[in-house]
Amino acid sequence: MSIVFALFSLTLPVVASEADTTHSGDTEEFKAGELIMHHVLDAHEIHIADGLSFPLPIMVYTQNGFDVFSFGNFWDDHHHPSKTYKSESTGNIYAYDHGHVSIVDEAGEEIAHSGWGVSDASFMDLSITKNVFGIFMAVALMLWIFISTARAYAKKGIAAPSGLQSMMEVLILFVRDEVAKPSIGKKYERFMPFLLTIFFFICIGNLLGLIPFLGGLNITGNIAVTATLAFFTFMLTSISANRGYWLHIIAPPGVPWWLLPIMLPIELIGLFNKPIVLCLRLFANITAGHIIILSFTCLIFIFNQSSGAGVAYGVSVGSVLFSIFMMCLELLVAFLQAYVFTLLSALYFGQAVEEAH
């Protein structure tokens, strides 16, 4: 509990720095929705606190060539992206607006954006964003964990595990004995590398998103990430499926012939519905957790602006307690969502390789 409280306490300075919208003696309206979406959505910087941000590299491929430069080139003196940047190598002038990089002319009018622009000039945005940085971090942690564990087994053999090895052995055996074997059956071993990869990737990604001083990473709360994971599950299921699996979709046994024109569309919808459910469940649960925690924190600043500091102090007691409760719940959800995604993937694999009776 003390660890959770310490982690949550780090979110207050971050939110407070963004909630402080005083400029030249004038106080602007505190917009909780914009602040929450700023933390939930992807970005080109790692924002720790007001005035403390780490720019990430912008990488764009245009008709004039390939440009790589720092997102900090868009910053003004207050670290707000309000300037344009002219590349010396390609001559392109870049602007940044609400998370999107575009090419503009000397007058500031947009010429092209990612995809096809107003002048049919296209360019590809390959920038390393906050979530991409988080993915690299999760992958690096996974490589360190698995390589360290493998070396420990190679050194000790069947001796009693210790340290990181002892924790990993419990989790790996859990995925094997409680997820893969019951769901897939005798052919479970061929799917174990994939199941372990998605379990630990989702779990680590969820936990990284709960660490405030990492800039509010939201890896598994990004629908592009969850859709990619679900797509891999769908493709592996389709490739591994045997003849009986496809026959059950095209012509379910025991169904009268006159019902087949009705059953076939239903079965095909169910085929594509599985990865969609995988994608949306993980995305919605993780994103909702981030929004709820930030909403409780924003209540303090909303009441401070509308009713004064005294009311805000009173509201802060309840907000902090509910936020700590949600942080504890999110620690459980981090493991639970990794387990659910892995279990459902294993069930789909089991249906695909099950021998026909």
Report pLDDT for 229.
Answer: 95
Q: How confident is the model at residue 275 (pLDDT cuts 50, 70, 90)?
A: very high
Least confident of 52-66, 75-89, 124-138, 335-349: 75-89
pLDDT at 228: 94
Length of the chain: 357
In 3D space, the residue among 82, 5, 103, 20 whose CA is nearest the CA of residue 304 turns out to be: 20
pLDDT for 202-225, tens place per residue? 999 999 988 877 777 889 989 999
Half-sphere exposure (Cβ direction) of 346: Cα atoms closer than 13 Å: 28
Radius of gyration for the alpha carbons in the chain, expressed in angstroms and rounded: 25
**Position with higher pLDDT, 81 vs 284:** 284
pLDDT per residue over 107-162, tens digit each?
Answer: 778 777 765 444 445 678 888 989 999 999 999 999 999 999 888 888 887 777 77
Tokens of 1: 């509990």
pLDDT value of position 2: 46
Q: Flag whether pLDDT at 198 surpasses 80.
A: yes
Task: Provide the pLDDT for residue 307.
Answer: 80
Give a three-class secondary structure readout of the chain: CHHHHHHHHCHHHHHHHHHCCEECCEECCCCHHHHHHHHHCCCCEEEEECCEEEECEEEEEECCEEEEEEHHHHECCCCCECCCEECCCCCCEEEEECCEEEEECCCCCEEEEEEECCCCCEEEECCCCHHHHHHHHHHHHHHHHHHHHHHHHHHHCCCCCCCHHHHHHHHHHHHHHHHHHHHHCCCHHHHHHHHHHHHHHHHHHHHHCCCHHHCCCCCCCCHHHHHHHHHHHHHHHHHHCCHHHHHHHHCCCCCCHHHHHHHHHHHHHHHHHHHHHHHHHHHHHHHHHHHHHHHHHHHHHHHHHHHCHHHHHHHHHHHHHHHHHHHHHHHHHHHHHHHHHHHHHHHHHHHHHCCCC
* pLDDT at residue 346, as a whole number: 95
In the chain, the percentage of residues whose pLDDT exceeds 70 is 87
Mean pLDDT of 186-200: 93
Average pLDDT of the chain, as a whole number: 82
pTM greater than the 0.75 cutoff: yes
Percentage of the residues of the chain whose pLDDT score is greater than 90: 28
Q: What's the pLDDT tens digit per position in 14-35?
A: 455 455 444 434 456 777 777 7
Whether 7 contacts 327, CB under 8 Å: yes
- The first and second tokens of residue 230, run together, are 């679900």
Instruction: Please give the pLDDT value at position 122.
Output: 66
pLDDT at 338 over 90: yes
- pLDDT tens by residue, 233-267: 999 999 988 888 888 888 777 778 787 788 888 88
Q: What is the pLDDT of residue 26?
A: 47
The pLDDT, as a whole number, for residue 4 is 47
Ordered by start, the domain boundaries in the chain are: 57-127, 132-353
Confidence tier at 45 by pLDDT (50, 70, 90): confident
